Amino acid sequence: MLDKKRKDASSGHEASDREFAFTVADFKQIRQMLYDHAGINLNDSKKDMVYSRLARRLRANRLSTFQEYLQLLERDDETEWEAFINSLTTNLTSFFREPHHFPILADFLRSQPNKRSFRIWCCAASTGEEPYTLAMTAINAFGTFSPPVEIIATDIDTHVLAKAEAGIYAMERLNKLPRDVIKRFFLKGTGEKEGYAKVRKELRQMISFQPLNLLDPRWPLQGAFDAIFCRNVMIYFDKNTQYKILQRFAPLLEPHGLLFVGHSESLHHATEFFRLRKQTVYELAASRSNKPESHGPHTHT
């Protein structure tokens, strides 16, 4: 019996029951465009995911081939570029994800009683669970619903950012939170809104949401931050891209500031900028200000 997905050597794609032909060349071009625009590396195992997500864009644009779609992107269609990035970015998040970070943040906020205000940057806000968790942590740390904390929440994906800004979640997204946390920080919906909950306005007022691509040459951010949360983001970048982003983070942190990264991420290749303080929590390297800027990661033999 012939394999339905036999390789067609002449066309470079797999014969299948797919609605659209999808060649190896198509995938490579998409992968390169995503890397150039967002710094995200896709391996070969993501080919089916790419097809599935972008096939929706072909239908939406009434196109019949991936080549037509790629030509649309090459014409710098701004709206479609936004949809392209939104389609291919992954947004896995939850409230109090990697929970060991939040007591560290709370202790950090309380440890500086003479500081009048704090600024935190959440640079992968996704659908909002992380920045709202930061707001809850600040409220608990200071014992008030108006703590001296400002949170800047950014993401490259404008669709999830709009959901974050709305602050409305299906109740199952809250099912791992203690009842007292839900009662304190959320308003349960009734009637047509039953089954949903909305974050309290005090949390929403602490956060400014805005789109940001970490690969953009200029970031629309002002002033220094006391903490930067960049968790489970670096895993999508190669080492050189990671290094360049970390190099840009360093001058944005206050001298006492902290950088929080994901559980599978380390900054061994950027020790001139950051040193480990606690589990996946970094601070500025002690000699950072005394060293000239370098232009790439060091290699060790």
What's the pLDDT tens digit per position in 179-193? 999 999 999 988 888
Q: At what angle do helices 158-166 and 78-88 cross, to 10 degrees?
A: 70
Read off the tokens for 192: 């047509």
Question: pLDDT (tens digit, 9 = 90+) per residue, 213-223?
Answer: 998 889 989 87
Please identify every residue annotated as catalytic: 53, 155
pTM of the model: 0.75
Q: What span, in angstroms and rounded, lies between the C-alpha atoms of 94 and 173?
A: 7
Give per-residue pLDDT as tens, 24-58: 999 999 988 888 877 777 778 888 888 988 998 89
Give the sign of the dihedral formed by CA 176, CA 178, CA 183, CA 185: negative
pLDDT at 288: 53
Q: Are 66 and 22 in contact (CB under 8 A)?
A: yes
Kindly report, residue by residue over 231-284, the tens digit of the pLDDT.
988 887 888 889 999 999 999 999 999 999 988 888 888 889 999 998 899 999
pLDDT of residue 82 exceeding 90, the answer is no
Supply φ then ψ for residue 256, to 5 degrees.
-95, 0
What average pLDDT score do residues 160-174 get? Answer: 92
Radius of gyration of the chain from Cα atoms?
Answer: 22
The pLDDT of 69-93, averaged and rounded, is 81
Q: Is 41 exposed, middle or buried (0-12, 13-18, 19+ CB in 10 A)?
A: middle
Half-sphere exposure of 29 (CA within 13 A, CB side): 13
> What's the token pair of residue 85?
């990035």
Q: Domains along the chain?
A: 7-88 (1.10.155.10), 101-290 (3.40.50.150)
Tokens of 73: 């992107």
- The reported pLDDT for the residue numbered 144 is 96
Q: Virtual CA dihedral for 43, 45, 51, 56, nearest 10 degrees?
A: -90
Q: What is the mean pLDDT of residues 71-91?
A: 80
Would the pLDDT of 7 be above 70?
A: no
Tell me if 182 sits within 8 A of 170, measured CB to CB.
Answer: no
Helix (H, G, I), strand (E, B) or coil at 89: coil
pLDDT for residue 90:
67
